[in-house]
C-alpha cells in the first residue's frame, strides 16, 4: 500500500495507508460525489477500506461529501477539530470571524468566478457529528485516536479557526489550507486565497516548519518542500488584503 493522491475539481484528497486500511484526508464539494467514487475505483480502493476520514476544516470544498461518505461507510471514524462540530452543523463556510482575500488580484479573480460559477455558494450539506466521531481539542498522536501510523495532529488556524494538519514522523505533512501551491501568478506566495487572520496563519507556518516537516501536501496545488514556507513566510502583508464585509 502506498500514498494515493486523488484530485477532484480543485481539492486534493489523500489516502494514507495505515494498519492495512486507508486514512482519507478531506473530501470535495457536494456535487463531486461521482468524481469521488470514480477516483476510488481508479485507485482500486473500496469505501470499506477507509477506516478514518480526517477533516482539515469545515469548508465546502473539504466537507461537502461527508454525509455521503458516512452513508456508504457507517463504520468510518471522522476526525476533526472540536471547533468544527458546530461549524459543520451550520452548513456554510464561517465568515463571522472577519478575514478576506490575500490581495487585490485574488479578489478580482474570485469575484469573476462568483459571477460565472453559480455552484460556488460557500455552502454544503450540514453534517451532524456522531458519537463515534473523534473531536480533537488538543494536539494528539494518531495512535491515540486509533490510527496505526506514527504522526500527530497539529492545530493550524489562520485560514479558519478549526483548521488542523497531520504531521507524519517521516516528514510528510497533510495541511489542508494551512498553505497552498495555488494561483502563484496572482501573488499568493504559498498562502491560501482566503485568510481569517494572516498573523495567526504565519504562526501556523512556524509550527509546521519547526515540527520536522520536509514535504507538504496541500489541498490545493502540487506538493512542495518546506523550504518554500521558510522563504515566503511574512511576504504577504495584512495591509494588502481585501477584507470581506
Task: Give pLDDT, residue 244.
Answer: 86
**Structural domain span for residue 149:** 4-243
Q: Quick one: cell of 45?
A: 480502493
Kindly give the pairing relationship between strand 12-18 and strand 21-25: antiparallel
Nearby residues of 49 by Cβ (< 8 Å), 6 or more positions away: 21, 22
Q: Give the total number of structural domains in the chain.
A: 1
Banded model confidence at residue 32, pLDDT cuts 50, 70, 90: very high
The tens digit of pLDDT for each residue in 206-228 reads 999 999 999 999 999 999 999 99
Q: How far apart are CA 95 and CA 207, in angstroms?
A: 24
Average pLDDT on 1-26 reads 95
Which is nearest to 212 in space by CA: 165, 177, 244, 180? 165
Q: What is the mean pLDDT of the chain?
A: 97
- Per-residue pLDDT of 37-48, as tens digits, reads 999 999 999 999
Using H for helix, E for strand and C for coil, what is the string for the chain?
CCCEEEECCCCEEEEEEECCEEEEECCCCHHHHHHHHHHHHHHCCCHHHEEEEECCCCCHHHHCCHHHHHHHCCCCEEEEECCHHHHHHHCECCCCCCCEECCHHHHHHHHHHHHHCCCCCCECCCCCCCCCCEEECCCCECHHHCCCCCEEEEECCCCCCCCEEEEECCCEEEEECCCCECCHHHCCCCCCCEECCHHHHHHHHHHHHHCCCCEEEECCECCEECHHHHHHCCCCCHHHCEECC
Task: Give which of 191, 130, 131, 124 is closest to 163, Cα–Cα.
Answer: 191
Q: Which three cell numbers stand for residue 39?
A: 477516483
Q: pLDDT tens for residues 90-142? A: 999 999 888 999 999 999 999 999 999 988 999 999 999 999 999 999 999 99
Please report the pLDDT score of residue 4 as a whole number: 97
Q: How much is the pLDDT for 98?
A: 86
Would you say 205 and 236 are in contact if contact means Cβ atoms under 8 Å apart? no
**Interval 139-182: pLDDT, tens:** 999 999 999 999 999 999 999 999 999 999 999 999 999 999 99
Please tell me the predicted confidence (pLDDT) of residue 19: 92
Q: Is the pLDDT at 1 greater than 80, yes or no?
A: no
> Which grid coordinates are listed for 83?
471547533
In which band, very low, low, confident or very high, does the pLDDT at 73 lie, cut at 50, 70 and 90? very high
Q: Dump pLDDT digits (tens) for 191-207.
A: 999 999 999 999 999 99
Query: How distant is the alpha carbon of residue 131 from its chain centre?
Result: 22
Tell me, what's the pLDDT at 233? 98
Per-residue cell: 23: 486514512
Residues ≥6 apart with Cβ < 8 Å to 117: none
Q: Give the CATH number for residue 99.
A: 3.60.15.10
Structural contact between residues 155 and 163, judged by C-beta atoms closer than 8 angstroms: yes
Amino acid at each position: 500500500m502506498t500514498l494515493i493522491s486523488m484530485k477532484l475539481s480543485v481539492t486534493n484528497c489523500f489516502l494514507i495507508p495505515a494498519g492495512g486500511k486507508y486514512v482519507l484526508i478531506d473530501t470535495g464539494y457536494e456535487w463531486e460525489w461521482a468524481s469521488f467514487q470514480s477516483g476510488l475505483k481508479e485507485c482500486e480502493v473500496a469505501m470499506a477500506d477507509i477506516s478514518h476520514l480526517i477533516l482539515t476544516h469545515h469548508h465546502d470544498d473539504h466537507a461537502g461529501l461527508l454525509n455521503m461518505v458516512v452513508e456508504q461507510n457507517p463504520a468510518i471514524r471522522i476526525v476533526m477539530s472540536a471547533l468544527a462540530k458546530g461549524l459543520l452543523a451550520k452548513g456554510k463556510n464561517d465568515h463571522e470571524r472577519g478575514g478576506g482575500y490575500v490581495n487585490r488580484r485574488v479578489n478580482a479573480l474570485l469575484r469573476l468566478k462568483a459571477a460565472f460559477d453559480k455552484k460556488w455558494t460557500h455552502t454544503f450539506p450540514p453534517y451532524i457529528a456522531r458519537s463515534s466521531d473523534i473531536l480533537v481539542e488538543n494536539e494528539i498522536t494518531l495512535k491515540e485516536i486509533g490510527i496505526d501510523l506514527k504522526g500527530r495532529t497539529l492545530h493550524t488556524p489562520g485560514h479558519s479557526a478549526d483548521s488542523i494538519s497531520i504531521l507524519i514522523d517521516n516528514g510528510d505533512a497533510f495541511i489542508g489550507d494551512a498553505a497552498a501551491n495555488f494561483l502563484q501568478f496572482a501573488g499568493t506566495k504559498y498562502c491560501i486565497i482566503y485568510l481569517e487572520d494572516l498573523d495567526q496563519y504565519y504562526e501556523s507556518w512556524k509550527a509546521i516548519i519547526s515540527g520536522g516537516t520536509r514535504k507538504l501536501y496541500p489541498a490545493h496545488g502540487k506538493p512542495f518542500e518546506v523550504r518554500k514556507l521558510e522563504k515566503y513566510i511574512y511576504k504577504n502583508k495584512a495591509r494588502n488584503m481585501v477584507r470581506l464585509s
